[in-house]
Structures are given as C-alpha cells and as structure tokens.
Amino acid sequence: MVFPTPDDGAGPNPAEAPIEFTSDTFLMEQALRQARRAFQAGEVPVGAIIVQGSTIIARAHNQVETLRDATAHAEMLALSQAQEALGDWRLTDCDLYVTKEPCPMCAGAIVHCRIRRVIFGVGDPKGGAAGGLLNLLQQPTLNHRSEITPGVLEAESLAILQSFFRAAREAAKEKRSSPTQENPDLS
C-alpha cells in the first residue's frame, strides 16, 4: 500500500497540520477545559486562563458555590493567580481567555489589572460588560482599555452553558414533581 507524501502532489493533510500553541483557538480550548471542571463540580461552567507571551500563567474556573463566595468567578480567580505568578498587580502584557463574556465585576477588575486583550467565547447580551449589555473594557473615561476578541469557539462555549442549565432545570423540575413524604407525626 502506498501512502501519499508531500512530494506526490496530494497536498498537506489537515489532520497533520502543526499545532499552534499560541493560537486563540488552542488557548480557548484550554479555557474550555477549565469550564468542564466547573461543570463537573456543579458550578456554572465558565473557565478562564491568562497568558503572558506563550506561557499560561493562570488557570481557573467558577467556584462561587464551592467557596461560597459571590466574587469567585473564573476571571477573578485567574487574575489573582496571575498577579501572584508575576508578583505584580499590573498585567499589562497579558491576555485573558474566558469562555463567557465577562460580567461588570470581572470587567472592572480586568481594567484595573490592565489586561492587554480579552478573548471570549460566547457573548452575554443581558449581563456582559465587554460589548453585550455594556462595554466597560473600552470605556473612554477609564485609565485603561483592553482589546476585545469575541466569538472564539463560541458554539462550544454556548453548548456547555446550555447543557448545564438544561440539567439544572430538569433537576429542579424533578424535585418539584417528586411526591413528598407525609409526616407520620401529624396523623
């Protein structure tokens, strides 16, 4: 059996294309891995990573329920990790990849940390602060503006959120429809 080689005119095989470890797609896949960890922990499945150059310096996922902390969003936890890794609160040469558009709280922290670029998967028209509901990341009156790249692996980011909320609705419906045990002491 003869297999095509690059010299036989068959052209490159896309399955053998080199992997770019710094591409937005590859890096968003890393954020999606974090979102899957959140899903498995029963958290809203949002994942985030922070990259400096070609190095991932922080990885996080939502841990609001686990930590019982309303501020434990993936972005906030990743920002804290990155600051610790660099020994500085200024993250001016860092990029944040997050599976869902940041909320106003996270966007405020992103601006204060001076993140260079924010890349997100799925937008949030009802509560997003990177162009969805509002755009804090490019607010002209603030001291810093981040570049925004929306829609990277959008379908995958949306799918994991939809799956999580579908399962949560089904669990709530099942809980409501299950027969309640009568209290024998009331007889």
| 177 CB neighbour count, 10 Å cutoff | 7
Radius of gyration, alpha carbons of the chain: 21
- Rounded to a whole number of angstroms, the distance between the first and last alpha carbons of the chain is 81
Distance CA 142, CA 8 (A): 58
| 160 CB neighbour count, 10 Å cutoff | 22
Q: Is 43 a catalytic residue?
A: no
Partner residues linked to 117 by β-bridges:
95, 147
Helical pair 74-86 and 104-113, crossing angle rounded to 10 deg: 20
**DSSP for residue 19:** P
Which of these is catalytic: 16, 20, 29, 75?
75
Give φ, ψ of 97 to 5 degrees: -110, 125
Task: Give the residue numbers annotated as catalytic, written as ranges.
Answer: 75
